[in-house]
Every structure is written in C-alpha cells, then in structure tokens.
C-alpha cells in the first residue's frame, strides 16, 4: 500500500469465511493508491454466527463499505437498510455501501461473470449452461445469464433452503425471459450426466475446491466432462481447482474466477 495510514484514513474490507486466501486487499489497495485515495482495505474472516455483529461494526466504525463472499451473501440481507433492484431480484448481496449510517446492498456478481467470459471471447447468447449450486453467486449468474440471452440453464443443487429459494427465482425468470431453466437434484446422477452432455458451458458456483488443494468435484463425475465443454469455476484460489485441472487434462477450455473478481 503506497499511502501511509493517517487519522483521516477510511476503511473498507471483505467479509467472508474463509477470507485469508483473498487477493481482494491487494487489488483494492492498489486501486486506492492509483486514485490517490486515503483509504485501506482489509480481509475479515467472519464466522456465520458473528455476521450480525460485523455488519453493525460497519456503522459503528464508519467503514465506507465492504464486499461480501461465501457464505454471507444471502444471510446478510435482513441486516441491511436497503437493496438495489438487482440485489432484490437476485436475492443476494456482494457489496455494501455505507451512506451516512444507511447500509445499502448491491450485487455485481452476475455482471462481473458475464464480463469475464466476454474478455475470454465466450458469447453466452443461445448457449446451454449447467450451473452447479444455488447460493448467492449462483443465483446472480443464473439471473444475469437469463437476462443476457442464454438459451437454457440446468441448475444442480442439493435439497435445502437454497433449493427451495431457487424454485421461486426460476419461476420469476421464466416469466421475465425466454430462457428455459430446470432444477436438478444433486442425487440424480443420470440427469446430471445428460445435462452435461447437452451443455456448452459448465459453471461451478459452489465453494468445492476453494482454498486448500482438493480432489473433490461438485455434483458431477469426471466422466461428465468433455473436450467441447467450456468449464468455468468462479473460485480464484487456487487458480486451478481440481475441476479445472480435470477439464484441462481432456483439452477443454477453462476459466477461473479471477476475471469475475477484478
């Protein structure tokens, strides 16, 4: 960080769990320095049970704002004063801005995802996608992809609260867009394999593979991958998850989550 800390230095940060692997502080502090802002950005590793206190801390410590990552993007909503239209539609927040003690939630995940694909020369219009997960990031990707002209999305998820929320979100998108969307239970391996064989893109929006090296695959089998499938993992640490490694080894195009972050 080029700037020195002063009594006027403003504070921003990342609230996530885990958070220590994040490169957001490096990126954001470089941006502050480049723009000659007297501010610094830190990573806060916050357990779910401490989220409420952390959000109150934004007000009490007068942070200018924070980014949120897994697993807080949906749980934070009741703790905020206001949501932007896209955050309301998606039902998840990845950015909080503190406007004189009023905390406003935004979601830039979906737009960031589409932009990162565009930079890789990938056009989603008319394509078929398999989306792994129904959390906040997955929901943002589903909504933005549907709005931007993807032909179909097969969403894979375990049964639970997010699964039921996804049903409601799908119903809204089916009315608002021409995208065909189906929700497949993670237990239905045959349906998952068929969806992968029909797809142009496979997107992992779960946290499987994040942080420490892992040989786990999220909801799919290695045999579900194929050369012509574009495989995207929104995780950026490690740069190559086991999913991306498996895809690369069979000659498939792979994209990690770094472009979405930046």
Token match 């933005």: residue? 144
Three-state DSSP at 14 gives strand
Sheet holding 39-45, edge to edge: 39-45, 10-16, 65-68, 95-99, 102-106, 82-83
The residue annotated as part of the active site, out of 26, 36, 52, 73, is: 73
73 catalytic? Reply is: yes
Residue (of 55, 146, 108, 123) closest to 234 by Cα position: 108
Tell me how far apart the alpha carbons of residues 88 and 223 are, in angstroms, rounded to a whole number: 37
**Structure-token match 């502050």, residue found:** 32
> What phi-psi label fits residue 119: left (phi over 0), alpha (psi between -120 and 50 degrees) or beta?
alpha
CA distance 255 to 137: 16
Active site residues: 73
């Amino acid at each position: 960080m080029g700037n020195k800390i002063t009594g006027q230095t403003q504070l921003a940060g990342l609230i996530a769990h885990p958070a220590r692997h994040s490169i957001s502080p490096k990126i954001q502090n470089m941006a502050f320095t480049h723009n000659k802002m007297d501010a610094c950005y830190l990573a806060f590793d916050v357990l779910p049970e401490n989220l409420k206190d952390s959000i109150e801390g934004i007000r009490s410590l007068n942070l200018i704002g924070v980014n949120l990552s897994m697993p807080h993007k949906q749980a934070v909503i009741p703790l905020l004063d206001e949501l932007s239209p896209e955050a309301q539609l998606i039902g998840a927040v990845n950015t909080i801005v503190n406007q004189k003690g009023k905390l406003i939630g935004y979601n830039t995940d979906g737009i960031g995802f589409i932009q990162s694909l565009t930079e890789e020369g990938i056009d989603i219009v008319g394509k078929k996608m398999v989306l792994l997960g129904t959390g906040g990031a997955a929901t943002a990707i589903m909504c933005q992809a549907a709005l931007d002209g993807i032909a179909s999305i097969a969403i894979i998820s375990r049964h639970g609260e997010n699964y039921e929320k996804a049903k409601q979100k799908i119903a809204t998108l089916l009315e608002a867009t021409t995208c065909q969307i189906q929700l497949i239970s993670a237990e239905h391996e045959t349906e998952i394999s068929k969806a992968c064989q029909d797809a142009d893109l496979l997107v992992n929006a779960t946290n499987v593979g994040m942080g420490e090296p892992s040989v786990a695959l999220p909801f799919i089998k290695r045999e579900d991958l194929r050369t012509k499938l574009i495989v995207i993992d929104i995780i950026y640490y490690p740069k190559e998850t086991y999913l991306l490694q498996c895809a690369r080894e069979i000659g498939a195009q792979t994209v990690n989550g770094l472009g979405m972050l930046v």
